[in-house]
Amino acid sequence: MARDIAMPSFDLTGKTIIVTGGTKGLGHGIAATLAHYGANVVITARTVKDCETVAAELNEKYVRGNNRVIGVPADSSKQADIDNVIAKTIENFGELNILVNNAGISGKTAKILTDECDEENFDKVIAVNLKGVFLFAKAAAKQMVTQGKGGKIINIASVGGLVGGPGVVAYGASKAGVISLTKTMGNEFGREGINVIAVCPGYVVTPLNEDIFLNEDGTPTKIYELSAKNTAVRRLGEIEEIAGPVCALCSDCFSYMTGTYIVIDGGQTIGR
- State yes or no: is 171 an active-site residue: yes
| Domain count along the chain | 1
pLDDT of residue 251: 95
pLDDT of residue 118: 93
pLDDT of residue 272: 62
Please list the alpha-helical segments (H only) found in the chain: 25-36, 48-61, 79-93, 119-126, 132-147, 169-189, 210-213, 222-228, 239-250
User: Does a structural domain hold residue 119?
Assistant: yes
Q: Looking at residue 259, which CATH number applies to its domain?
A: 3.40.50.720
User: Does a structural domain hold residue 260?
Assistant: yes
Q: Which domain holds residue 89?
A: 16-206+238-264
Residue in 23, 32, 9, 10 with CA at minimum distance from that of residue 242: 32
pLDDT of residue 65: 66
Per-10-residue mean pLDDT, the chain, length 272: 85 96 96 96 97 96 86 96 98 98 91 92 95 98 98 97 90 97 98 98 89 90 93 96 97 95 96 67
Distance (Å, rounded) from C-alpha 144 to C-alpha 146? 5
pLDDT of residue 230: 92
pLDDT of residue 7: 86
pLDDT of residue 106: 87
Distance (Å, rounded) from C-alpha 246 to C-alpha 95? 20
Catalytic position from the list 37, 62, 171, 256: 171
User: Does a structural domain hold residue 242?
Assistant: yes
pLDDT of residue 67: 87
Radius of gyration of the chain from Cα atoms? 19
User: Does a structural domain hold residue 270?
Assistant: no
The Cβ of residue 232 has, within 10 Å, a number of other Cβ atoms equal to 13
Distance (Å, rounded) from C-alpha 99 to C-alpha 140? 7
Distance (Å, rounded) from C-alpha 24 to C-alpha 36? 17
User: Does a structural domain hold residue 196?
Assistant: yes
User: Does a structural domain hold residue 245?
Assistant: yes
User: Does a structural domain hold residue 145?
Assistant: yes
Assess contact for 192 and 150: CB atoms under 8 A: yes
User: Does a structural domain hold residue 227?
Assistant: no
Separation in Å, CA 20 to CA 8, 74, 131, 211: 27, 8, 13, 24
